Amino acid sequence: MKSLIKVDEMTCNHCKMVVEKAVSEIEGVESYDVNLEDGMVEIVGEANMDDVVSAIHKVGYRARRV
């Protein structure tokens, strides 16, 4: 299953790496693609998207499902 998350305030490669690390630690995420330019994260897997959004919030970014 593919899902999209919009992440606000990612402005640099460090931001991207922080979000990637947070997403990679969520159970059920098979793969992910963090796009810095449009602020989107594509998640593939059976992860709970509320857990993904929460993990991104915990590292300091606003995120929401789209």
Looking at residues 30-39, what average pLDDT do you find? 97
Distance CA(54)–CA(64), nearest Å, equals 9
Scanning 1-66, the segments in alpha helix (DSSP H) are 13-24, 49-58
Task: Provide the edge-to-edge strand list for the sheet that holds 2-8.
Answer: 29-35, 40-45, 2-8, 62-65
> How many structural domains comprise the chain?
1
In the prediction, which pLDDT does 35 show? 97
Q: What is the mean pLDDT of the chain?
A: 97
- The fraction of the chain above a pLDDT of 70, given in percent, is 100
* Residue 30's CATH number: 3.30.70.100
pLDDT recorded at residue 4: 98
Which percentage of the chain shows pLDDT scores above 90? 100
Residues ≥6 apart with Cβ < 8 Å to 51: 26, 27
Residue 41 pairs with which residues in a beta bridge?
Answer: 5, 34
Structural domain including 16 reads 2-65
Residue range 16-39: mean pLDDT, rounded: 98
